[in-house]
Structure 1
Amino acid sequence: MVPRTCIVLLFLLCSFSSLATAFLNLTLPGQHPNPEEVVQEVHRKVNASLARRQMLQGTQKYQDSSCLTGNPIDDCWKCDPNWPNNRQSLADCAIGFGQYALGGKGGEYYIVTDSSDDDAVNPRPGTLRYAVIQTEPLWIVFPGNMLIKLSQELIFNSYKTLDGRGANVHIVGGGCITLQFISNVIIHNVHVHHCYPSGDANVRSSPSHYGYRTKSDGDGISIFGSKDIWIDHCSLSHCKDGLIDAVMGSTGITISNNYFSHHNEVMLLGHSDDYLPDSGMQVTIAFNHFGEELVQRMPRCRRGYIHVVNNDFTQWEMYAIGGSGNPTINSQGNRYTAPSNPNAKEVTKRVETAEGKWKDWNWRSEGDILVNGAFFVASGKGVEFNYEKAYSVEPKSAVLIDQLIMHAGALGVGGRDNNLGKWSSGSNGDGNGLGSGPDYTDDMSGSSSRNIPLPLSSTSTLFSFLISLSCLLFLYIIPDMHFTMRK
C-alpha cells in the first residue's frame, strides 16, 4: 500500500504541480509581506500632499496651479506642466497595493486610430484589441474622442497602459475588459459601461494564440488570477454583472479616483469563501466616489486584506461594504451617507454568516464620518485599541473628502477641461464620435450566476488533473471493490 501511495502522490504532484502550489501556498506572487506598512505609506503620501497644498495656499504659485488638490496621485502627474509629453511618468504615481504596476512604462506609444472591433481573432492594426494583445510593453493613447463597441471580451496581455487622458474614450459592449493571468496593467481615464455577456466564440489573447471562450459574466473590468493592477480615474456604470471584479488569487491592486454609478453589484473581491488563495488578496480602494443609484458591494469581500480609504459613499440601497470568509476590512477616513430607508442604515453586511462566526473578523473603522444615521459595525477582539496604538501616521479625516475626490471619474466630465493634453482635435478618423450614442437599455445592472471561463491556456492542466483523478480512482476504489466482492 505504501509504494502505491507514493506513486499516486508523485503522479499528482507532477501532473498539476502549479495547481497544487496555488492551493497549498497562500503567499501569492505580488503579495506584500506586511500590509500595515503599505497602509501607513498611503497616509504619509496623502499627508505630504495636503501639507504642500496648505503651505502654498495663498501664494502666487498656488493661484497659478490647478494641480495642488492634496490628492497625491493627481498632484504627482498634474503638477508637471509638460505631462502630455511625459505621459509615462504616470506609472510612478500609484499608491497602495497596486503601486508596483508598471503598465507599459518603457515601451513604445501606440495610438489607437481605428475604433472598430469586428474580428476578435484577427484584429486590425490600429485597433485597441490589436494593441492590448501584444507581448511587448505598450503605452496606449487616443488621438481624440472615441466610442469602442466590443464584439467579445477585450483580453489584455501584460505590461499595458490604457491612457485616455486628453480624450473622451468610451468602452462598451460584449464582455468588456478581461485581465486574466497577467500582470502590470494600468487603466486610466476611460469610461466603461453597458457591458453585457459575450463568448461562445474564439478570442485572441496574444499574437500567437487564440482560443474558445465560454460565456462571460458581463463585468466592466474582470481581474482573474492577476497582479500589479492599477485602475484610476475611470467612470463605470450599467454593466450586467460587476463593475470591477477581482478573483482567483488576484492581488497587488489599487482602485483609485473612479466614479461608480447606476449599478447593482458594484465590486466583488474574492472568488468564494472556500478559495484559500484569495487569502493573499490585497486591494487598496482610495479617493473613489460611489455615486448615484448604487445598490450593494462597494465592495463585497471574500478573504484578503482590503484597505478602504478616503472614499465618498452616497446613499446605497442595501449596504456599502459586505463580506464573508473572514476578510480584513480596514476603513479609514471615508464618508458614508446612508439612504433614507430606515432599514438600510448599516454600512456593513456580513453576508450569510452568523454573528458567532464573524465577531472575531477584523473589520475596522477609523476617522470615518457617518451621515444620515449611517453606522459601521466593527468586529475583532480589541481592534480599536490595538489599531490606534499601531499607527504613527494618522489617516486624514473624512472632512477632506470633497477635496480628495474632487476629480473622481474620467477627467473632462461635468464641465472639466477635456482638451488637456489632447493629441489632436475632433473625433476619431472614421467619424464614429459620441454625438448620437448607442441605443442601449438601462436594465444592465441585474445579478447573474458566476460563470468562470476557463483560461485559454488551461486545457492541458485540466486534462492532467482529470487523468490524475482517474488514476487515483483506479488504484484505490477499484481494488477495494474487488476485495469486497471476494469476501
Structure 2
Amino acid sequence: MLLPTSYIVLTWLLSSISPAKMAMLNLTLPGQHPDPESVVHDVHRRVNASMARRQMLETTESEDASCLTGNPVDDCWKCDPDWANNRQRLADCAIGFGQYALGGKNGEIYIVTDSSDDDAVEPKPGTLRYAVIQEEPLWIVFPANMLIRLSQELIFNSYKTVDGRGANVHIVGGGCITLQYISNVIIHNIHIHDCHPSGETNVRSSPTHWGWRTMSDGDGISIFGAKDIWIDHCSLSHCKDGLIDAVMGSTGITISNNYFSHHNEVMLLGHSDEYLPDSGMQVTIAFNHFGENLVQRMPRCRRGYIHVVNNDFTQWEMYAIGGSGSPTINSQGNRYIAPSNTNAKEVTKRVDTDHSKWRDWNWRSEGDILVNGAFFVASGEGLEVKYEKAYSVEPKSAAYIDLITWHAGVLGVGGRDNNLGEWNTRAKFQGSEAADRPSSTSPFIVFIAALSCLSLLYADVFASGLL
C-alpha cells in the first residue's frame, strides 16, 4: 500500500485504543454529512421534480419531452444538444451523498489517444494511466472506442473525471481502478469487467511518487479511505472480488445508473464490524439495475448510513441487501423481484448476527415493490422523519421504476440506447479556464486538523488513565 505518513499515524492511534474506549472519542470522517436525512429528502425532491416536469411536457407535446426520462441525473445534462462541448456540466448533476464530487471540473480536457498500459511506473503521455496520476484537475475523454487492458491497478489522484460518453470504452485486466486516500473523482460511462488481482511490483500514484504495491483483490473499483466519489452509468461484471468495494473510512459516495451483472459478491461497504470510523460512511445507491447472474451483496454493509433508492433488483441467488455491525439501511422506492428458489425470497440478510442484536438495527423499507414472493425484514424503531406529501417516495407503478432505470449502464448500448452514438465531429475538446480550480492537496487539510484533534483526545484519554 502507498500510505501517507498522516494515515500511518492515525492507524497507530486508532489501533492502540480499545473499541469500547474508542467509541468515547465520537470520530467524524472528513466529508461526512451532518444530516443524512436531509440528503435523502433532497434525492426525493429531485426525482419527483424530474417526474413532474416530464409529465407536464408530455401533456403539452413539447419537443423537450423526448429527452426527459424522469431521472434527475440524466435530465440534468442530456437535453443539451451540444453536450459533447459542454461536458463539465455533468459535475453539477450528481445526487445523494456523492453530489459534492467535483471530478475534473474547471480543469483542462485531456484526450486519451493511446490505449496501451505497458509501464505502471513511467506511463506514456496520452494514456489513461498518465492522466489519472496528475496533480491538477483533468476532464478525461476518449475520441474513439477503446479497450484498455491494465497491467497493474490504475491508481487515481484527486480531482479527475473519466468521461466515456460518446465512445465504447472498456477497462479490464490487472487490479482495475483504485481510489485510495483521495477525493473528488467522477467515473462515467465506462465498461469495467474481467478484473483480476495484480501487484507485488511498483506502481506510480502521482508525477512525483511511485511505490511498492502488494497483491490487490481484483475489485472493479476499490474505494479506500476516499471521499466525494461519484460512479455513474458504468457497466460492471466478471471481476475476481467485488465489483465496487468502499472501505476504511470512505464516505460521500454516490453509485448511480449502473448495470451490474454476472458476479457473486457485488458490492461491499465497510471494512469490518469492528472498524469504527466506517460508522461515518454515507453512500447513496440510486437508479441502478441489478441484472442477470448476481448472487449476493447488493450491497453488503458494515456500519454507516446506506440509502438504497429507486433501483431495479431483477435477480439474486442468495439475497439482495446484507449487513452486520449495525448499519443503517434506508430502502425506498426499489423493485425487488425474488428468484424462483423458495429459500431465497428474503431481500435482506443479517450476516452472522443473532436476532437479539439485529432487532435494534435501523433497516426500513418505504414504497418498495416486492415481486414474486420477495419480502423485506425491517428492524429498529426507524427514524421519525415525515416527508412532505409532494415528496413522497411511493412509486406510482412498476412503470415508474422501468422509466427511471431504463438507461442504466453504459449509454448507447443495446436496449439502453439513448442515441448518443460515438463522438460527433463538432466536439472541440476545449478546456475551460482553471483559475478557480481547487488544490489537489486540499482534501487533507481537514483530515490533518482532525488528526490533530484526535491526537489531543488521545493524550487526554491517556492522561485520564483509560489506556
Q: Which range, TM-score by smaller chain?
A: 0.7 to 0.9
Match of 1:20 among 6, 13, 16: 13
Aligned position for 2:237: 237
Is 1:197 matched up with 2:197? yes
Aligned position for 2:439: none
Aligned position for 1:69: 69
Change (3 A) 1:418 1:112: farther
Residue pair 1:25, 1:277 contacting (<8 A) in 2 also: no
Aligned position for 1:479: none
Q: Deviations over 1:206-257 (max 9, x none)?
A: 0000000000000000000000000000000000000000000000000000
What's the secondary structure of 2:342's corresponding residue? coil
Aligned position for 2:179: 179
Which consecutive residues of structure 1, in runs of 5 or more, have no partner in the other structure?
Answer: 1-12, 426-460, 462-471, 473-487
Residue pair 2:57, 2:65 contacting (<8 A) in 1 also: no
Residue pair 1:156, 1:178 contacting (<8 A) in 2 also: yes
Q: Which amino acid aligns with 2:370?
A: L
Q: Which amino acid aligns with 1:38?
A: V
Residue pair 2:192, 2:235 contacting (<8 A) in 1 also: yes
Aligned position for 1:394: 392
Residue pair 1:185, 1:229 contacting (<8 A) in 2 also: yes
Residue pair 1:143, 1:424 contacting (<8 A) in 2 also: no
Q: Which amino acid aligns with 1:61?
A: S
Q: Which amino acid aligns with 2:50?
A: S
Residue pair 2:366, 2:394 contacting (<8 A) in 1 also: no
Equivalent runs, 1:121-200 vs 2, <5 Å: 121-200=121-200
Is 1:378 matched up with 2:397? no
Separation of aligned partners in 2, 1:236 and 1:17: 33
Q: Which amino acid aligns with 2:393?
A: P
Instruction: State the shift of 1:67 in Å.
Output: 1.9
Aligned position for 2:105: 105
Change (3 A) 1:338 1:291: same
Which structure is larger by alpha-carbon Rg, 1 or 2?
1
Aligned position for 2:34: 33
Which consecutive residues of structure 2, in runs of 5 or more, have no partner in the other structure?
Answer: 1-5, 16-21, 427-450, 452-461, 463-467
What's the secondary structure of 2:414's corresponding residue? coil
Q: Which amino acid aligns with 1:28?
A: L
Instruction: State the shift of 1:388 in Å.
Output: 4.7
Separation of aligned partners in 1, 2:190 and 2:53: 29
Aligned position for 2:448: none
Q: Deviations over 1:24-49 (max 9, x none)?
A: 45211111000000000000000100
Instruction: State the shift of 1:19 in Å.
Output: 5.1
Change (3 A) 1:121 1:139: same
Change (3 A) 1:19 1:40: farther
What's the secondary structure of 1:343's corresponding residue? helix
Q: Which amino acid aligns with 2:316?
A: W
Q: Which amino acid aligns with 1:176?
A: C
Aligned position for 2:82: 82
Is 1:264 matched up with 2:249? no
Instruction: State the shift of 1:79 in Å.
Output: 1.4
Aligned position for 2:423: 422
Q: Deviations over 1:142-188 (max 9, x none)?
A: 00100000000000000000000000000000000000000000000
Change (3 A) 1:418 1:124: farther
Separation of aligned partners in 2, 1:345 and 1:352: 19
Separation of aligned partners in 2, 1:339 and 1:183: 38
Coordinate RMSD, CA, aligned: 2.4
Aligned position for 2:283: 283
Aligned position for 1:44: 45
Deviates further, 413-422 or 118-127: 413-422
Q: Which amino acid aligns with 1:26?
A: L
Separation of aligned partners in 1, 2:62 and 2:290: 33
Q: Which amino acid aligns with 1:29?
A: P
Aligned position for 1:465: none
Identity %, equivalent residues: 78
Residue pair 2:200, 2:214 contacting (<8 A) in 1 also: yes
